[in-house]
Amino acid sequence: MSKKLYPKARKRFGQNFLQDQSVIDDIIAAIDPQLGQHIVEIGPGRAALTTPLLQNSDQLDVIELDRDLIPLLRIQFAAHQHLTIHQADALSFDYRTLVTKHEKLRIVGNLPYNITTPLLFHLLAQSECIEDMCFMLQREVVERICAQPGNKQYGRLTIMVQYQCQAELVFIVPAEAFYPVPKVESAILYLNPYSHDRYIGGSVDIDALGKIVTQAFSQRRKTIANTLKRMVTPALILQAEISLKQRPETISIAQYVALTRLWLDSL
């Protein structure tokens, strides 16, 4: 089906359609779809990734919110019995309903910039059914997610994602690869959820970690002792092997985990 038959990009859905074939090829190579894998594509749009994904997989679900695109996708892929199209909001979709037997999902997509953070958190809340994720996101967001302590981009999003996943910036995608051309560059992000506890003492409650980290970065120019003074005593901060004079962006994820565990134990 000609892409001309598809409707124009809609701003309220944050749509920017990928059209550069060399970039598409590079993304498919990064995903490396294989027969026998269950792949889920979020936001197929005009099917730039859907078509090559179908050529390399035998079970593909796509989730699309735009009702105008659904009938066109159904027409284009009518002959593909191993493709299932869901007209749904990716932010509220229950990905666990797609899992059969003991398989895990591989989730991919070109995510709208305006829903990136809540969608990532929604997916991570269901990470027990996810093998890995490969997304195209705004470059700045990917760099924040992959940042290391001491970097000015290191923050709440970094910690909450890296606590649960290995995160890697795979490559940069120029704005010219899309139509309409966005005002920002994109990047490919690879996320691999951890299957085991990585920290001494085991995992901590994710909501509790989120509260500590959110409060810590509420005034990132201040010391950790100042930003957390209403939640955590100086003694607990020192017990977590954190200096009272450290700023939030210099503290490692392991230290935040240790501090969260000590805070919970003190309640």
Residue 4, pLDDT score: 46
pLDDT > 70: percent of the chain: 94
Strands (E), 126-229: 130-138, 165-173, 178-179, 186-193
Calpha distance 24→85 (Å, rounded): 21
Residue among 173, 114, 236, 70 at smallest CA distance from 228: 236
Architecture of domain 206-266: Orthogonal Bundle (1.10)
Using N-to-C axis directions, what is the helix angle for 253-266 and 206-216, rounded to 10°?
110
| Domain segments of the chain as ranges | 3-193, 206-266
Structure-model confidence comparison of residues 7 and 85, the more confident one: 85
* Average pLDDT of the chain to the nearest whole number: 91
Residue 94, pLDDT score: 98
pLDDT > 90: percent of the chain: 79
Please tell me the pTM assigned to this model. Answer: 0.90
Residue 15, pLDDT score: 55
CATH number listed for the domain at residues 3-193: 3.40.50.150
Task: Judge if 3-193 and 206-266 fold alike in CATH terms.
Answer: no
Flag whether pLDDT at 32 surpasses 70: yes
Residue 199, pLDDT score: 87
Run of H or E residues at 64: strand 60-64
* Contact between 138 and 188 (Cβ < 8 Å): no
Task: Note the helical H segments in 219-252.
Answer: 224-227, 234-239
